[in-house]
């Protein structure tokens, strides 16, 4: 029976990650779970986020997955350093994102943008310092970015004003490498680039996760599926027309089937 790759996020923002993975691994099937009913995770406590995360990992485990990916940065902070879930390889976005930021940075001065939960956890700062003790890290919570993306307010004067406010210190410190430590932020790339300038490198989770996944295949920990028709399932814990439209928009031009409403 065809096995898929399980991937989860607190909502639909993780589709920015799924889209990249679906394009990089065209023969693989994916099962995505967006916990829309309980979104956002970014303002919740580590205990609550972990409880939700374990429920979702169990749900995905039951869907015949061969690997599990936590696309949500806020959820990744509470599974840091855990590389399997009940025997299934588990990837989070924080370790690969930190490695990639250090790889592309020439001065090791790195800024991290994220939700309040992600920034409060200092997960990126800890990981970056563990990987390179000489790194200098500035962390910035950007809680208004997620609702702006959810409302489709992108490439807009309001978004630019908010970006100017959040990114002021990063600009002042002349940071050249910025980790987009939240599933939703790749959608804001045009606004962020405009505010920060073209010389600043923005590190996204989707790209770095695809390298991690490639390593899992190469090491033999998971096996590639034979080239036959693949399936991309998008399951969510609540469903309205708004989510249907947002999902299509975030995955465009990758086609997705009907969203499935599931109970965890
Ligand atoms: N998916 C979350 C993250 O990457 C953003 C949305 C939320 O706050 O739940 O941190």
Q: 235: closest CA among 3, 11, 4?
A: 11
Over the stretch 130-156, which tens digit does the pLDDT of each residue have?
A: 999 999 999 999 999 999 998 889 999
According to CATH, the topology of domain 4-92+206-261 is Rossmann fold (3.40.50)
CATH 3.40.50.1860 domain extents, the chain: 4-92+206-261, 95-205
Over the stretch 24-81, which tens digit does the pLDDT of each residue have?
A: 999 999 999 999 999 999 999 999 999 999 999 999 999 999 999 999 999 999 999 9
**Cα–Cα distances in angstroms (integers) from residue 194 to residues 146, 156, 161, 171, in the given order:** 18, 11, 11, 12
Residue 189 banded pLDDT, cuts 50, 70, 90: very high
Atom of ligand 1 nearest to the CA of 118: 10
What phi and psi values does residue 71 have, to the nearest 5 degrees? -80, -25
Task: Please confirm, yes or no, whether 31 is among the known catalytic residues.
Answer: no
pLDDT given at position 156: 92
Q: Which residues line ligand 1 (CB under 6 A)?
A: 9-11, 13, 39-42, 72-74, 115, 118, 146, 182-184
Looking at domain 95-205, its CATH architecture is 3-Layer(aba) Sandwich (3.40)
Task: Please confirm, yes or no, whether 72 is among the known catalytic residues.
Answer: yes
Specify the pTM. 0.94
Q: 92: closest CA among 71, 113, 78?
A: 71
Assess contact for 9 and 34: CB atoms under 8 A: yes
pLDDT at 228 over 80: no
Cα angle: 103, vertex 105, 110; to 5 degrees: 110
Peptide bond into 253 cis (omega under 30): yes
């Amino acid at each position: 029976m065809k096995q898929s790759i399980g991937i989860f996020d607190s909502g639909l923002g993780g589709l920015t990650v799924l889209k990249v993975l679906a394009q990089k691994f065209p023969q693989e099937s994916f099962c995505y779970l967006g916990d829309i009913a309980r979104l956002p995770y970014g303002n919740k406590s580590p205990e609550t986020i972990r409880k939700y995360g374990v429920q979702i990992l169990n749900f995905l485990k039951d869907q015949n997955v061969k690997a599990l990916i936590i696309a949500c940065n806020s959820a990744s902070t509470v599974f840091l350093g855990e590389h399997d879930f009940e025997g299934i390889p588990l990837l989070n976005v924080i370790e690969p994102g930190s490695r990639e930021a250090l790889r592309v940075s020439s001065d090791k001065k790195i800024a991290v943008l994220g939700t309040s939960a992600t920034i409060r956890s200092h997960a990126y700062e800890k990981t970056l310092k563990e990987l390179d003790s000489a790194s200098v890290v500035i962390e910035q919570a950007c809680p208004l970015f997620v609702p702006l993306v959810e409302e489709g307010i992108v490439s807009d004067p309001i978004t630019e004003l908010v970006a100017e406010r959040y990114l002021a210190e990063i600009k002042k410190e002349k940071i050249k490498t910025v980790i987009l430590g939240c599933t939703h932020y790749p959608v804001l790339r045009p606004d962020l680039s405009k505010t920060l300038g073209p010389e600043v490198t923005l590190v996204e989770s989707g790209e770095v996760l695809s390298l991690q996944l490639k390593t899992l295949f190469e090491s033999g920990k998971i096996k590639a599926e034979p080239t036959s028709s693949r399936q991309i399932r998008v399951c969510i814990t609540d469903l309205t027309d708004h989510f249907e439209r947002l999902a299509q928009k975030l995955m465009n031009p990758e086609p997705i089937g009907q969203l499935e409403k599931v109970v965890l």
